[in-house]
Structure 1
Amino acid sequence: MSGPLLQVRGLAKRYGARLACDGVGFALHPGEVLAVVGESGSGKSTLLGLIAGEIAADAGSVTYRMRDGVARDLAALGPAERRALMRTDWGFVRQDATLGLRMAVSAGGNVGERLMGVGERHYGRIRATALDWLARVEIAADRVDEPPSRFSGGMRQRLQIARNLVTAPRLVLMDEPTSGLDVSVQARLLDTIRGLVAELGLAVIIVTHDLAVARLLSHRILVMRGGRVIETGLTDQVLDDPQAPYTQLLVASVLAA
């Protein structure tokens, strides 16, 4: 069916005198990758939290087109419906992988848990699928029974990706997924993300302060400052010919680095 997968209208959130999100709106279509960029404190992560329902909005709405084609206002979903959505049709790859993984559970168990959440109960199938996904994110099969507490930062992020994608979600939220990783580890992780997004036709909202990440992964870009959208458009167009003075400064700071 045609039409947006996700429709965000007028999202607003205030913390005291500070506007963390001020009337943000956009549409996201199936298979489209949207990068949300800006400096620290620009409202990027607040926007992601509002979309995910982890932060209560002061105003605005988030509408999602369910698999039956019906667009639902996420604020109207009951707790059980929202939990089901987040463990099946949505994924959330967090900046801190320890928040997105069960650190005391094995790597295979982390992937298998999400499969069990959608009703899979056959141990052999769960383990085989977990092994397949570990291979897809370049984690060796002999690490399947190790907990992520023994993994490096890059491996934890790759495991978090496998955990989120195993149920074939249609929308994945990513909050600075490469932040804090070594450059070589970042490059490997970005290759993994780009390949899987293209292969699976995922719709993605990725929050990043790194314009190179935005250029590599996204079709469209949304530039935020002080909780507001300053500029939006096709990624290459915005980064090659920025119109807003703030976006020009962001691009210039990267070129000067």
Structure 2
Amino acid sequence: MTDDLPLLTVDAVTRHYGAHIGCKAVSFALFPGEILAIVGESGSGKTTLLNCLSCRMPVSSGTVSYQMRDGGMRDLATLTEAERRFLMRTDWGFVHQNPADGLRMRVSAGANIGERMMAVGDRHYGRIRQTAEDWLARVEIPGTRIDDRPTAFSGGMRQRLQIARNLVTAPRLVFMDEPTGGLDVSVQARLLDLLRGLVGEMGLSAIVVTHDLAVARLLSHRIMVMKEGHVIEHGLTDRVLDDPQHPYTQLLVASILEV
């Protein structure tokens, strides 16, 4: 692995749904330790792009390449299904907007975290349980809840548990789809502080899809603005939000300021 090469390289990625464009000719590079926010209104193509980048959806054209742990770049389309599943369980994380989509709701909080550890070969029960307790503490869930199922947790606690489940294997790249969506404002603020601290502490790379420009400003180094499947503006987060160039970006920023 090398930090002077991109972790993820995206070249002219396009996704069609019949005659409809999900995303069109998107290109960028993401470097180790970098956080990219993808913003835009509903239907802009940001979630379609995220699903293409994370191998949850095939691309219609273009390539997505990833720097594997041996330092080699691999076109994700050439991975076998087993290689892709292993990458998703270990080197990548995916934080869903609805925590129930990223958790096993019928097993305990500890088992949700332990399952990811077992995916990388850990079989020592005592070590798995201790690590699960440590991670619950890191995401501000009392250790006494380790044997409780997520069905007994609040929405904010479920989202924090989902974050712990994803980060326990020390992934190098985390995809986040509206990670604060549907949460109360006070819960959002607490979760964002937690996410920012963990991402910085672990040196993670992340791609965050959000419609909330405040989330983008707090978490990301760079921002990509999408409209109708196209990237219309891309740059450093503070530059784009403080001095937007495209009329659509100006409209997005102005609408937030008026709230």
TM-score range, shorter chain: over 0.9
Alignment match of 1:145 (pick from 144, 147, 155): 147
Corresponding position of 1:128 = 130
Match of 1:41, SS state, is coil
Q: Distance in 2 between matches of 1:88 and 1:198?
A: 19
| Residue deviations 1:83-119 (CA, integer Å, cap 9, x gap) | 1111111000001111100000100000000000100
How far the C-alpha of 1:18 sits from its partner, in A, is: 1.5
Q: Distance in 1 between matches of 2:63 and 2:19?
A: 22
Q: Pairwise mapping of residues 1-257 of structure 1 onto structure 2 (< 5 A)? A: 1=2, 2-257=4-259
Match of 1:7, SS state, is strand
* Unaligned stretches of 5+ residues in structure 2: none
| Residue deviations 1:107-134 (CA, integer Å, cap 9, x gap) | 0000000000100000000000000000
Q: Distance in 2 between matches of 1:219 and 1:13?
A: 26
| Residue deviations 1:57-108 (CA, integer Å, cap 9, x gap) | 1101110001110000010000111111111110000011111000001000
Match of 1:12, SS state, is strand
Q: Distance in 2 between matches of 1:60 and 1:157?
A: 33
Q: State the identity %.
A: 69
Paired letter, 2:5 = G
How far the C-alpha of 1:16 sits from its partner, in A, is: 2.4
Aligned-residue Cα RMSD (Å) equals: 0.5
How far the C-alpha of 1:15 sits from its partner, in A, is: 1.3
Q: TM-score, normalised by structure 1?
A: 0.99
How far the C-alpha of 1:56 sits from its partner, in A, is: 1.2
Paired letter, 1:102 = R
* Unaligned stretches of 5+ residues in structure 1: none
Structure 1 residue runs of 4 or more that deviate by more than 4 Å after TM superposition: none
| Residue deviations 1:214-237 (CA, integer Å, cap 9, x gap) | 000000000000000000000000
How far the C-alpha of 1:14 sits from its partner, in A, is: 1.1
How far the C-alpha of 1:17 sits from its partner, in A, is: 2.3
Q: Distance in 1 between matches of 2:162 and 2:19?
A: 36
Q: Distance in 2 between matches of 1:26 and 1:219?
A: 14
